[in-house]
Every structure is written in C-alpha cells, then in structure tokens.
Amino acid sequence: MSRYRVRQQDVKPYSPANHVGTRNYRMIGTETVGAKQVEMLIGEVEKGKGALAHAHPGIEQVCYLLEGNARVEVGGERFELAPGEACFFPPDAPHVFTVTSDRAKVMVIYAPPYEENPARTVRHG
C-alpha cells in the first residue's frame, strides 16, 4: 500500500452536513496522506439532491463534475454544470449544488481543509 496513493474503494463514505442524498469519500486529507493545506473528496449524489444553501467562512471550494449534470447557484449566478466543467465557491459565499441528472459524481477540493467541521460552515436559507 502506498503512503501517497488513495483508492476510493479503501475510503469509508460519509453523509456530509448541509447535503442530502450525498455520499462523500475523503480521498486526500490529514487522515489519508497527511495533507494539511488542501482536502480533496469525491461526492456521489442522487438526482434532485446535493448541497443545501451554505457557505464556508475562510475556505475556497472547487467542484469538478466527473459524471452527470448539476445546477449551481453562487454569487448571484445560476448555471448548469456538465462533465468536464468546474465551478468555484469563494470563501464566505453562499452556494447551492443540485444534481439534475439521474446521479452525479463530483470531485471537490477545499483549501484550507474543511474536514467536515461544523465551525467551518454557515447554513443559509
């Protein structure tokens, strides 16, 4: 087993706060490879589900859609996201991510790490 390679099948999924119909796999983080400045996860999301309106104070977030389609709301913009496209959620910006296809798979990057810490999120709406 590599100290730096992480396989999704070896990571225990969890249901993230402020999300519905979502299973996340924290691939890169303190507990997997010792990363301290960045966190990367894979989210598997059901149709019509995803992130409810919330923000992460002081944390930048990137979503890269691997499979499926989603509707994104951030900073007064609303747009559709397709596979191979990415979106950015600035620190403190309320955002919503809703899957519009049968299911979706998304890579999410946080910097600094969010670590599913309730103190690092603010619910909106």
* pLDDT tens by residue, 109-121: 999 999 887 777 7
Which pLDDT does position 117 carry in this prediction? 79
Instruction: Specify the pTM.
Output: 0.93
Domain 15-123, second-level architecture: Sandwich (2.60)
Q: 85-89, 105-109, 111-115: which range is least confident on average?
A: 111-115
CA–CA dist 97, 59 (Å, integer): 17
pLDDT at 14 > cutoff 80 = yes
pLDDT at 125 > cutoff 70 = no
Q: Is the dihedral of CA 25, 15, 55, 112 positive or negative?
A: negative
Which pLDDT does position 102 carry in this prediction? 98
Which pLDDT does position 1 carry in this prediction? 63
Sorted by where each begins, the domain ranges of the chain are 15-123
